[in-house]
Every structure is written in structure tokens, then in C-alpha cells.
């Protein structure tokens, strides 16, 4: 007795014809006592294993070996006494199934022709052979539908639009090898990052996603409410403040790979939900973290692609090998403007440059923020090869140690690849008194209406007062790392990105 129930006739009346016909086939199977969604199938080998095991089988050979295989039907050709189907399994491996009148019998061959559609999952038990054309095949003795597809697959020669691919990633994965490869590449990258950090003595931890205060970055948070606590909570914008608590507690090399959430724009390089690696190393600094970041990216590239010169989907190449270029923010900006600007350049002069280059200035910006925005407009888009941009204004770096040589600067770098910020790192500010002063100033900005300003986290400051050793910290976007390795947009690197409601 099967658990499925019949679909009411009035539900199918308005369906497209192909969907209606498939539902009728499901009904027919149920009426005949056949479960269109059985609990399983006794598979003895994957299609990949069959391909490997019989790779050198000569043309028109019968092995006598009986196997049971499964796969999704992606091609059908039904003739009088012989039917052909191409099966595909999850990794993309394909294998031909052949059904002949003399092996399966008249009734089961007829059932195949009237019940099986492209997109169905089936199981086939039979002999491994090669056809007269040399095609490795399973010549069926028996077969069964293991999952009846009620929706037809898209037409192979008419690609899905980007929007359709993102909304229906499950169909995209069925249809496009590139979609499946991107998932495998991402998995290889994540595994490589973890392995690389573990080899260097880093310990992976998990820190809260729901936080009483938002901090660790300048960003607008998502706000929710806890009924149990009767208080607002924030989806974290960064794990930084909790990872620093770990360093205070003696976990001197610590990292986390997890999700961050920022209630900001959505475009080809920004997603409100994104994956981030953050790592902290006691007795390191921003130079230490630069070496670590370069090595992590290079090791991930080798693991995922086999080369330090990666080929993008459009055929272009990006060389990630060797040492990477390093520039200072103010030095690169000076070159772009044609005159020297420094952290001491006044706001009036920076405004003149902004006006000349059609950059709208927010009244709340200080000279440091304006210098960064000018850099983003004039310099960043041209940084295609990996480039460390060093030494940012203290004004915009409330969690960063002041530069050891140049007053007004902070020991921070941003790593740019393909014109986008891929990672950032600091020599961490560990003086709790100065840290309090910086966060108090952030709280003042928040009180004036800056939605990206950090809140005053007294527990974090209390932790810092127990003593945090000199440290370097780094954060790197996983989705953007995939962009750098593949040349894809951010929504293609995320398996199920956020989309607008239909």
C-alpha cells in the first residue's frame, strides 16, 4: 500500500500540458499498485565506478557482469524493439541504458515507453556491455522509476536566464556543468582554507550569530526580537569582537568560517548574507597577516584549480603566484590625483578633488573617510592583480592599532583583486583605554544617527582589560575569493543567494 494520494482533478486542470501528462502517469502508476517514489533501489555501483571499471572495454562486447545503477534520465530514444536512455548522476557522470524486447519483455518495454520521461530518476539492473558503436551501456533485465519528475526540464539548447538560474538553483545544477563545478570549487576552497590554518596551529571556533550588540565592523545590521528575553537582537555583522575574546582567553591562533549579515545593498559584488573567514594570531601584526593571507589564497587556488594562474569563465587568466604588490593608500591616491595628499591634507582640499571627480560628499564624512572614498572611485577599480593597500587613516579604523611610525595612520591593509576588496587585516588595537575612547566616539556617531557606527560593548572592553597580547587579525570574504578564482559574480558563487520575492 503506498502513501501517495491522488491529485484532485481540479488541481491539474489549469496545468501546462506536459505537467498534466506527467501527473496522469503518476496516477496511472498508483492505480496499478506501483509506487512512483519508492523507498530506494538496490544500487551496486555508481555510474562513475562503471565508467572507471570498464574504461577499456572493446566495441560490441558483453561482459556477463550484472550491475544495478541509478540516474536521472536526460535523453530518451524509443524505437520499436529497442529503447535508449542516457542516465546522469550527481557528479555529472553519464551512462547509457539500453532496453530490448528480448531482455525485459513486451509488457515492461511498453511500460517504459508510456511512463518514463526526461527528468525521471530510474534504476536499471542488467549486463554491462558496449554497443555496436562502442558506447558503454547497461543492457537492462529490469528497471524501475525511483522518482517521477512532475515538471519537465528546460530545453538544453535554450539556456536559463541568470535570474532563473539563481531562483531555481536546483534546476541549474541539473542542467549546467559549470553550476556543479562551482559547488565543487567552493567546497575545495573551504576545505583548503581549513587545512591550511590547521597546519599552522589555528583552532576553529564558532561564535554567536545572534548578538545583543552589533560591532566588529562599520555596517548596518539586521534587527530581530527575542520573545524569551524581550529584547532586540542583531544578526552579526562580524565575529571580530568574540574572536578577540578568544585571544584574551588564551586561544592565541583562532579562526572562524561562517556567515555575516549586513542590511545593505545587493549587487554583483555584495550580498546581505555572505561567508567570511576571520583569523587572529597573537604576536602577529598586519605584515604577518599579509603573508598568511597570500599563502591561504595561493594554497586554495592550487587545491581548487591545480594552478596559481586561474582561468576565469570568460577565458581570461589571473596570476596569483609569487609575491604580491603593496602600495599605501595615500601614495596610490596621490598618484591618481596628480598631487601629494596625506593624512594631514585638510577637508577643504579633499572636497575640491571630490568635486572635480564628481564624487558626492556625505556631510558626516571626515577627511579620512573622504580620502578612502576618493581612493575607491579613482584607484580601486584598476587594481586587477592582487594588491595590498596599506596604512589607512585612524579616523576610519576604530579597532586598529595606530601606525608605529606615521601619526594619524593605522596599521591596516585591504587586499584588492579584480578591483574588489577581498580581505582586510590589522595590527590589532589591544590598549583597553584607547579602545574605550574609540568605541565611545563610535557610540557618539551612532547617537547622531549613523546606522553603521558600532555600539559600545562593555563586555568586550572588560575582556580587553584582562589583557590581550599584541595580535594581527584578518578577515576575508569567501564569496569574493570564489569570484577571484572563477570570474563569476557573487550570486553565482553562493549556492542559494537571497532574491526578491516572486
**Residue 301 confidence (pLDDT) above 90:** yes
- Distance (Å) of CA 465 to CA 64, 215, 263, 309, 428: 75, 18, 31, 46, 15
Tens of pLDDT along 330-366?
999 999 999 999 999 999 999 999 999 999 999 989 9
User: pLDDT averaged over the chain?
Assistant: 93
Tens of pLDDT along 226-259?
999 999 999 999 999 999 999 999 999 999 999 9
Tens of pLDDT along 265-276?
888 788 899 999
- Please report the pLDDT score of residue 1 as a whole number: 45
**Residue 9 confidence (pLDDT) above 60:** no
As a whole-number percent, the residues of the chain with pLDDT over 90 amount to 84
Tens of pLDDT along 376-386?
999 999 999 99
Q: What is the mean pLDDT of residues 307-335?
A: 97
SS3 state at 137: strand
Query: Where in the sequence of the chain do the CATH 2.40.50.140 domains occur?
Result: 16-147
State residue 85 phi and psi, 5-degree precision.
-145, 140
Q: What is the mean pLDDT of residues 166-178?
A: 93
The beta strand positions in 1-61, using DSSP E, are none
pTM of this prediction? 0.90
* pLDDT greater at residue 364 or residue 85: 85
- Please report the pLDDT score of residue 330 as a whole number: 98
Contacts of 104 (CB under 8 A, 6+ apart): 112, 140, 141, 142, 143
**Residue 295 confidence (pLDDT) above 80:** yes
Check: CB of residue 404 under 8 Å from CB of residue 374.
no
- Please report the pLDDT score of residue 454 as a whole number: 67
- Please report the pLDDT score of residue 453 as a whole number: 66
Of 378, 414, 377, 379, which is closest to residue 393 (Cα–Cα)?
Answer: 414
SS3 state at 269: coil
Rounded Cα distance between 43 and 23, Å, is 26
Min mean pLDDT across 9-13, 44-48, 226-230 is at 9-13
- The CATH code for residues 16-147 is 2.40.50.140
Query: Where in the sequence of the chain do the CATH 3.30.930.10 domains occur?
Result: 174-324+385-493
Rounded Cα distance between 363 and 346, Å, is 15
Tens of pLDDT along 102-149?
999 999 999 999 999 999 999 999 999 999 999 999 999 999 999 999
pLDDT range class, residue 214, cuts 50, 70, 90 = confident
- Please report the pLDDT score of residue 11 as a whole number: 58
* pLDDT greater at residue 392 or residue 161: 392
- Distance (Å) of CA 231 to CA 260, 389, 420, 454: 21, 40, 37, 18
Rounded Cα distance between 486 and 315, Å, is 10
Q: Name residue 415's beta-bridge partners.
A: 388, 423
- Fold that domain 174-324+385-493 belongs to in CATH: BirA Bifunctional Protein; domain 2 (3.30.930)
Amino acid at each position: 500500500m503506498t502513501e501517495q494520494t491522488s491529485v484532485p482533478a481540479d488541481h491539474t486542470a489549469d496545468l501546462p500540458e506536459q505537467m498534466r501528462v506527467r501527473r496522469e502517469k503518476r496516477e496511472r502508476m498508483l492505480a496499478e499498485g506501483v509506487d512512483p517514489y519508492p523507498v530506494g533501489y538496490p544500487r551496486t555501483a555508481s555510474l562513475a565506478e562503471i565508467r572507471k571499471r570498464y574504461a577499456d572495454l572493446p566495441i560490441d562486447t558483453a561482459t556477463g557482469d550484472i550491475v544495478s545503477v541509478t540516474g536521472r534520465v536526460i535523453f530518451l530514444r524509443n524505437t520499436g524493439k529497442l529503447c535508449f536512455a542516457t542516465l546522469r548522476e550527481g557528479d555529472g557522470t553519464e551512462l547509457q541504458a539500453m532496453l530490448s524486447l528480448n531482455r525485459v519483455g513486451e509488457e515492461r518495454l511498453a511500460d517504459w515507453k508510456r511512463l518514463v520521461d526526461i527528468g525521471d530518476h530510474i534504476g536499471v539492473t542488467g549486463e554491462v556491455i558496449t554497443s555496436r558503436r562502442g558506447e558503454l551501456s547497461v543492457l537492462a533485465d529490469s528497471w524501475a522509476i525511483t522518482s517521477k519528475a512532475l515538471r519537465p526540464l528546460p530545453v538544453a539548447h535554450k539556456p536559463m536566464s541568470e535570474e532563473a538560474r539563481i531562483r531555481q538553483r536546483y534546476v541549474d545544477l541539473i542542467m549546467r556543468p559549470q553550476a556543479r563545478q562551482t559547488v565543487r570549487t567552493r567546497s575545495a576552497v573551504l576545505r583548503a582554507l581549513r587545512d591550511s590554518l590547521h597546519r599552522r596551529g589555528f583552532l576553529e571556533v564558532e561564535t554567536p550569530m545572534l548578538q545583543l550588540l552589533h560591532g566588529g565592523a562599520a555596517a548596518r545590521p539586521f534587527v530581530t526580537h527575542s520573545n524569551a528575553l524581550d529584547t532586540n537582537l542583531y544578526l552579526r555583522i562580524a565575529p571580530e569582537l568574540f574572536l578577540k575574546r578568544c585571544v584574551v582567553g588564551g586561544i592565541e591562533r583562532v579562526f572562524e568560517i561562517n556567515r555575516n549579515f549586513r542590511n545593505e545593498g545587493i549587487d554583483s559584488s555584495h550580498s546581505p548574507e555572505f561567508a567570511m573567514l576571520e583569523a587572529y594570531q597573537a604576536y602577529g601584526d598586519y605584515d604577518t597577516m599579509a603573508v598568511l593571507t597570500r599563502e591561504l589564497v595561493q594554497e586554495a587556488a592550487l587545491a581548487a584549480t591545480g594552478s596559481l594562474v586561474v582561468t576565469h569563465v570568460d577565458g581570461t587568466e589571473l596570476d596569483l603566484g609569487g609575491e604580491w604588490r603593496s602600495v599605501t593608500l595615500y601614495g596610490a591616491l596621490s598618484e591618481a590625483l596628480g598631487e601629494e595628499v596625506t593624512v594631514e591634507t585638510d577637508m577643504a582640499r579633499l572636497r575640491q578633488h571630490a568635486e572635480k571627480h564628481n564624487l558626492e560628499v556625505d556631510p558626516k564624512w571626515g577627511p579620512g573617510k573622504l580620502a578612502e572614498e576618493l581612493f575607491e572611485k579613482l584607484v580601486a577599480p584598476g587594481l586587477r592583480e592582487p594588491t595590498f593597500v596599506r596604512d589607512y587613516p585612524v579616523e576610519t579604523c576604530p579597532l586598529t592599532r595606530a601606525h608605529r611610525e606615521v601619526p594619524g595612520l593605522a596599521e591596516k591593509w585591504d587586499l584588492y583583486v579584480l578591483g574588489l576588496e577581498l580581505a582586510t587585516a590589522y595590527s590589532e588595537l589591544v590598549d583597553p583605554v584607547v579602545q574605550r575612547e574609540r568605541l565611545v566616539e563610535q557610540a557618539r556617531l551612532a547617537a547622531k544617527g549613523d546606522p553603521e557606527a558600532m555600539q559600545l560593548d562593555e563586555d568586550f572592553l572588560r575582556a580587553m582589560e584582562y589583557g590581550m597580547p599584541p595580535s594581527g587579525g584578518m578577515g576575508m570574504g569567501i564569496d569574493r575569493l570564489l569570484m577571484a578564482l572563477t570570474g563569476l559574480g557573487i550570486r553565482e558563487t553562493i549556492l542559494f543567494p537571497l532574491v526578491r520575492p516572486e
